[in-house]
Amino acid sequence: MAAAGDVFLPEVGAGKLHVLAVDDSHVDRKVIERLLKISSCQVTVVESGSRALQYLGLDGEKSSIGFDSVKVNLIMTDYSMPGMTGYELLKKIKESSVFREVPVVVMSSENILTRIDSCLEEGAEEFLLKPVKLSDVKRVTDFIMKGEGKKGVKKSHKRSRSDDYSPPSSSSSSSISTAFSSVSHPCDLSLPASPSSALLSKKTRLSI
């Protein structure tokens, strides 16, 4: 078993999205990793914002992992983490000339509008409320995958939930149960959150 602080490197396959997942909670890291793998993504997980910056080579030192050989298509980060919050990590990424175009999704178990405002205004792709669902992950990854397929076309990563939301199907619900069957989570999954509370964007927030 890998020790805390280790970075799990994927074998990135052609045509698959590579997602960097950042969360200080071991349980939440395993949950998001499982959901992303169900969505056919390659996943690298790290436990802090500083480790994410190190992996991306944005810590001011030469990356020990060799990022040049690995492409990141999406970054998903928890908001509340010790040392560096997800918002601070988002700012660092958007300040980078290399990674500013990489979509960043911020996740949180707390529905605090000021945090949502700050992240969306700083350039976050989406703000997801935990527990993150398989339908949320598929919605985001499908959107990114479509954009990756448009060669030579500059695309906007901004969108609202109403543009592409569809209620989870019964098969998705079954997949969600499978995803969580081997990982216990402190949240009660027996009462699903309403669709409008699961995924927030500027357009959704303004209509509240």
pLDDT score, position 135: 97
pLDDT score, position 24: 98
Q: Average of pLDDT values for 32-59?
A: 96
Please identify which residue in the block is written with the tokens 């569809």. Answer: 166
Q: How many residues are there in the chain? A: 208
Domains of the chain listed by start with CATH number:
18-62+69-146 (3.40.50.2300)
The answer on pLDDT for 183 being more than 80 is no
pLDDT score, position 48: 98
Residue among 19, 10, 8, 12 nearest 125 (CA): 19
- Residue with the bigger pLDDT between 56 and 178: it is 56
Q: Are the CB atoms for 46 and 6 separated by under 8 Å?
A: no
Sorted by sequence, the CB contacts under 8 Å of residue 180 that are 6+ apart come out as 31, 34, 189
What are the residue ranges of helices labelled H in 9-71? 26-38, 49-56
Burial class of residue 183 in the structure, from the number of CB atoms within 10 Å of its CB (0-12 exposed, 13-18 middle, 19+ buried): middle
The answer on pLDDT for 110 being more than 70 is yes
Which of 41-45, 83-87, 184-188 is least confident?
184-188
Distance from C-alpha of 103 to C-alpha of 158, rounded to nearest angstrom: 9
Planar angle of CA 35, 85, 134, nearest 5 degrees: 15
Q: Are the CB atoms for 136 and 106 separated by under 8 Å?
A: no
- Residue with the bigger pLDDT between 136 and 146: it is 136
Q: Average of pLDDT values for 4-26?
A: 71
